[in-house]
Structure 1
Amino acid sequence: MEGGLDLVDVGGKGENWGQPSWDAFREVLGGTTSGIPRWFFTFLGVKSLVGMPPLYGTHPTIALVAISILTFGSLSPASATTETLSPAAQKQAQALVAESPELTESALVNDVEVYSASTGVSVESVLRQASSESAQSIEAASSSKKGKRTKKIGNAKHKGDVFVTPAFTGGVNHGHTGIYSAKPTIVEAPGTGKKSRSTSASSYKVPKKSYKMDVKTSQTKRNKAGSYAYNKLRGKKYSANFAVNKKTGSAKMNCSQLVWAAYKASVKIDLDGNGGLGVYPYNIKDSKHTHIYKTIK
């Protein structure tokens, strides 16, 4: 989103009722929603993180007025901090940040609090599950060793194919993933400080033990997902939060969120292999919907 509210499709039905997305809402508030009461989100009719439609179709003008009250008035939110969490939740939050070196504690707590407010699941429960999923992601990637990107990945068999490759950040391997918007073209969220982009597959280099996969569906649906990635998901800023990243309309995205969103938003296929709160690259590799047709050695 650049310079305004990111209006989203309510419930994925192709109906734009004017609800601002969570990411747009947070951006207007300066990046935090900590301390905002849950009733306020319900009043605004902001789309929930799990795809449930709002209770009220709030007009954008009302939403803007309400946001102004929050931004300048007595309900102005405080910065998120782990100090308000229980000792166990603090420990889980700190572990998540350690396992995602580009993620800050404040950004993590902000996103977890928004998720908690939208679903009714406690912050402590969200952090506990997210911490478990992060550990599972690292375990799933553990068979892949750190190596130089010396192998050209090359073209896909089909438009809509995906790939997963080892990728280390601060010594932690959660992997990396992207989608083929055409046989010779990749769309990906490359990392911190960079916007999602398209790039040529012929010159794209990966380490050994990278995987090229197709999705077990019709070519028509693969085509839709590839086109959606190219037309809708390029040019987005990067998000380092994988813990609760299963949102299709985010202003910021990470690599696995982008690939997941391309299929989820366009053809309703969920590529998350374990069905958790967040989707990681190796969740896509291990999904029942994907099939490895080439391992790069």
Structure 2
Amino acid sequence: MKRAILSFVLFASTFLIPFSNVGASSVVDDILMLQPDVSQEQLMADVESIVSNTGMTENEVLDKIYSELKNNQEKGMTEQAALQKKGNSTFGGSGGTVSVGSSTKGNFYYTPSETAYLDHGHVGLYYATTTIVESVPSDGVRQISTTARKVDSSGAVVKSVSTSTTNRNNAANWAYSQIGQSYSYNFATNRLTGHDGAKNCSKLIWSAYKLHGNLDLDVDGGLGVYPRDVRDAPGTVLVRNI
């Protein structure tokens, strides 16, 4: 009897325990497929930090990251389908043909975009009436004139943030101070990364208003802030369709 029990324990330790990590490994692979420019080492370092700071388990964090990425992907597919129905097939990025136009300092624009590996959309902040500050893969955080910044005429909007003029100006000034910082492809955990250093377009605007006004421009408060999260965040108001 003891020999049988020992044999079972050896079997379990050899074959069953590794299977407990199969689910996690599969989710990691799925996440990296949706964010191929983020390394597994970086992803897991972020996951460990979240586990340490929140008390969530590793599997819970991975599942949440994957769920948010898939949700964003599905929103992008829905958005693209709607634009295609209208005869539009460029989806922002370098294929746009319409200038974003001028707006008030502290406002931001959103445009459908699939310029990178996955359709996240794109946002940029008005530093001045005719100057945009944004983060793009090619240049990192940069400034560009509203005339030069072209987007699609379908689905692109300008929105304002409901806060004081002081907060709006300070947020835009901070974003401007980040010009020259490199681009980060990490959307999945960008709420929890530092405000300074490499950042993507949504992190730039989210950090600007988080630091200046303590506003959380994230519609769902998840682990990642995506451009559509900023677009749809409470406290943002439509100014105009582009």
TM-score, normalization: structure 2?
A: 0.80
**What secondary structure does 2:179 align onto?**
coil
AA paired with 2:152? P
Q: Answer yes or no: is the 8 Å Cα contact 2:113–2:119 preserved in 1.
A: yes
Could you list the per-position Cα deviations for residues 251-281 of structure 1 after superposition, in whole angstroms to 9, with x for gaps in the alignment?
Answer: 2111111110000011101000101111000
Structure 1: which 5+ runs fail to align?
1-82
Q: Which has the higher contact order (CA 8 A, sep 6+)?
A: 2
Which residue in 2 is equivalent to 1:234?
A: 179
Structure 2: which 5+ runs fail to align?
1-17, 81-88
Aligned residues: 211
Alpha-carbon distance in structure 1 between the residues aligned to 2:20 and 2:61? 12
- Large movers: runs of 4+ above 6 Å: none
1:167 aligns with 2:113: yes
AA paired with 2:183? Y
Q: Answer yes or no: is the 8 Å Cα contact 2:120–2:226 preserved in 1.
A: yes
Identity across aligned pairs (percent)?
A: 34
Q: Answer yes or no: is the 8 Å Cα contact 2:35–2:117 preserved in 1.
A: no
Q: Answer yes or no: is the 8 Å Cα contact 1:167–1:176 preserved in 2.
A: yes
1:225 aligns with 2:135: no
Change in 2 beyond 3 A, CA 1:169/1:199:
closer
Change in 2 beyond 3 A, CA 1:223/1:109:
same
Which residue in 2 is equivalent to 1:133?
A: 68
How far apart are residue 126 of structure 1 and its match? 1.1
Change in 2 beyond 3 A, CA 1:186/1:248:
farther
How far apart are residue 214 of structure 1 and its match? 0.5
How far apart are residue 169 of structure 1 and its match? 4.6
How far apart are residue 219 of structure 1 and its match? 2.1
1:108 aligns with 2:43: yes
TM-score, normalization: structure 1?
A: 0.66
Alpha-carbon distance in structure 2 between the residues aligned to 1:84 and 1:266? 47
Q: Which has the higher helix share?
A: 2
User: Bigger radius of gyration, 1 or 2?
Assistant: 2
How far apart are residue 111 of structure 1 and its match? 2.1
How far apart are residue 95 of structure 1 and its match? 1.7
Q: How do residues 172-187 of structure 1 correspond to structure 2 at under 5 angstroms?
A: 172-187=118-133
Alpha-carbon distance in structure 1 between the residues aligned to 2:28 and 2:143? 33
Alpha-carbon distance in structure 1 between the residues aligned to 2:46 and 2:170? 29
Alpha-carbon distance in structure 1 between the residues aligned to 2:26 and 2:115? 21
Change in 2 beyond 3 A, CA 1:253/1:170:
closer
Q: Answer yes or no: is the 8 Å Cα contact 1:184–1:200 preserved in 2.
A: yes
Which residue in 2 is equivalent to 1:152?
A: 99
Change in 2 beyond 3 A, CA 1:109/1:295:
same
Which residue in 2 is equivalent to 1:96?
A: 31
Alpha-carbon distance in structure 2 between the residues aligned to 1:283 and 1:199? 23
Q: Alpha carbon RMSD of aligned pairs, Å?
A: 2.1
Could you list the per-position Cα deviations for residues 108-130 of structure 1 after superposition, in whole angstroms to 9, with x for gaps in the alignment?
Answer: 22222233233332222111111
How far apart are residue 295 of structure 1 and its match? 1.9
How far apart are residue 249 of structure 1 and its match? 2.4
